[in-house]
């Protein structure tokens, strides 16, 4: 029931921000179902193909909904402080994230991520060069405690040698694996125990629930 409730909430909020999503979902589902029914008629096995078509139509509709919901989320947080942290905290695959482990007066931020690729420091701010300076400082700090585990850095932005906010999650998951799953938790706890003052993280539009926000009116 909880999963159904979450899906309905995601659908409702996504529809409010993008009403066309209902039509895209319907067209995709009907098109998929039509292909399977036609195949069933041609092969004289209508019912097996029709049942499979219904299941596949539902799956296609959910894929369309998921992509639309992700776009709405991205559009809502794109220009806000802490946008990268909001994305990182929704990542799957065993990632553990500590947002805002370092910052400066310009509100540039560094977020600590530990996953199969090892330690990844993600920086975001208005100036890529300034963010890199902060990242280099934190990289040296964490590398001493990470030992042989590599500490990599990522700058979120739109310029050269940066990663776009929309591509951040995919970029991290495509990094080469360097540690085992069982090593993630202990390493994360070790690094977060180093201690550092955190900035007052902005209350992003995703909040603590991870739900799709409504557009500002």
The percentage of the chain sitting over the pLDDT mark of 90, rounded to a whole number, equals 53
Burial class (CB in 10 A: 0-12, 13-18, 19+), 93: exposed
**pTM for this entry:** 0.67
Measured N-to-C along each axis, helices 181-192 and 128-146 cross at an angle, to the nearest 10 degrees, of 110
Cα angle, residue 174 at apex, residues 166 and 201 outer, rounded to 5°: 45
Question: DSSP label at 163?
Answer: B
Cα separation of 175 and 4, whole Å?
33
pLDDT at res. 39: 94
16-20, 45-49, 140-144: segment of lowest average pLDDT = 16-20
pLDDT-based confidence at 211, cuts 50/70/90?
very low
pLDDT 10s digits, 66-108: 878 777 777 666 667 788 888 898 888 889 999 999 988 888 9
Three-class secondary structure of residue 99 per DSSP: strand
Q: CA–CA distance from 90 to each of 50, 76, 113, 168 (Å)?
A: 36, 15, 12, 11
pLDDT 10s digits, 134-153: 999 999 999 999 989 999 99
What phi, psi does 99 have (nearest 5°)? -75, 145
Task: Give the closest residue to 195 by CA, choosing from 112, 135, 134.
Answer: 112
């Amino acid at each position: 029931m909880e999963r159904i409730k979450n899906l309905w909430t995601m659908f409702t909020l996504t529809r409010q921000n993008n009403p066309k999503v209902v039509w895209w979902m319907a067209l995709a589902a009907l098109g998929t179902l039509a292909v399977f029914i036609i195949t069933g008629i041609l092969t004289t096995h209508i019912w097996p193909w029709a049942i499979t078509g219904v299941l596949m139509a539902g799956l296609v509709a959910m894929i369309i909904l998921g992509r639309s919901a992700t776009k709405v989320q991205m559009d809502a947080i794109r220009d806000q402080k802490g946008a990268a942290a909001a994305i990182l905290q929704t990542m799957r695959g065993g990632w553990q994230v500590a947002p805002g482990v370092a910052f400066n007066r310009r509100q540039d931020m560094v977020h600590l991520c530990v996953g199969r690729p090892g330690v990844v420091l993600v920086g975001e701010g208005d100036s890529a060069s300034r963010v890199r300076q902060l990242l280099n400082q934190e990289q040296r700090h964490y590398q001493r405690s990470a030992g042989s585990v590599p500490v990599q850095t990522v700058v979120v932005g739109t310029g050269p040698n940066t990663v776009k906010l929309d591509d951040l999650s995919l970029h991290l998951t495509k990094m080469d694996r360097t540690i085992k799953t069982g090593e993630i938790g202990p390493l994360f706890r070790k690094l977060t125990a180093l201690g550092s003052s955190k900035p007052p993280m902005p209350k992003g539009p995703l909040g603590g629930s991870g739900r799709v926000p409504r557009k500002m009116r």
